[in-house]
A and B are shown apart, each in its own frame.
Chain A
Amino acid sequence: AQKVTQAQTEISVVEKEDVTLDCVYETRDTTYYLFWYKQPPSGELVFLIRRNSFDEQNEISGRYSWNFQKSTSSFNFTITASQVVDSAVYFCALSLISNFGNEKLTFGTGTRLTIIP
């Protein structure tokens, strides 16, 4: 069975500091996808990034960057120069292909990030 672990339940940092959110996953499948979602106080989950298991290139998007390492089964998320608007709950998720070829996500328990002004 697949599993996603986000060991950091809550993190607080002062604005403009860098912060890394950890994600470790378990799966026996060789083909899978990893996702990060953001859930601001309003409640709606917002898709941030997708990575497939064959692409270990790191990705940078503005202040956000992601480090995918198959050797350690990790997909960590770093926010550089954090801002108050980054305060949210962040979820890491793993997607396997179900019997019918459709996506089924397994979520971690989330990390609540608070940026202190």
Chain B
Amino acid sequence: DVKVTQSSRYLVKRTGEKVFLECVQDMDHENMFWYRQDPGLGLRLIYFSYDVKMKEKGDIPEGYSVSREKKERFSLILESASTNQTSMYLCASSQAGGDQPQHFGDGTRLSIL
């Protein structure tokens, strides 16, 4: 079974802090994704990566950056956290190819105070 592991289930940080959310997958997938999930808005794509050191902006990249130094790991970075970044963050991975389903982690519920 594919396993996508997010480093924290719950995280509380303060406004202005630099925040790192880590995601690791164990199936050698080419693609990795970061989403945020908010009530009434569904899942919105922040960034995705289709190869090591490659990244592409999603629909809401402002205020975020990403890093993919190794194939199995995809990090989401909040450079200076703000209260409107309080949300559930979901990481996903998939094989290359437009028909491949994405496999999701359990999510990180991030609160910015």
**What is the interface of chain A, defined by CB distance below 8 A to chain B?**
9, 31, 33, 35, 37, 42-47, 50, 52, 91, 95-98, 100-110
A33 touches B96 (CB 8 A): no
Contact A107 B42, CB 8 Å, known A97-B98, A100-B56, A101-B96: yes
- Min CB distance, B69 to chain A, in Å? 19
- Min CB distance, A9 to chain B, in Å? 8
* Residue contacts A-B, CB under 8 angstroms, 13 given: A33-B98, A37-B104, A44-B105, A52-B99, A91-B43, A102-B30, A102-B50, A103-B94, A104-B45, A104-B48, A105-B43, A107-B35, A109-B41
A4→B104 CA distance, assembly (Å): 20
Contact A43 B107, CB 8 Å, known A91-B43, A100-B50, A109-B40: yes
Residue B101 CB within 8 A of the other chain? yes
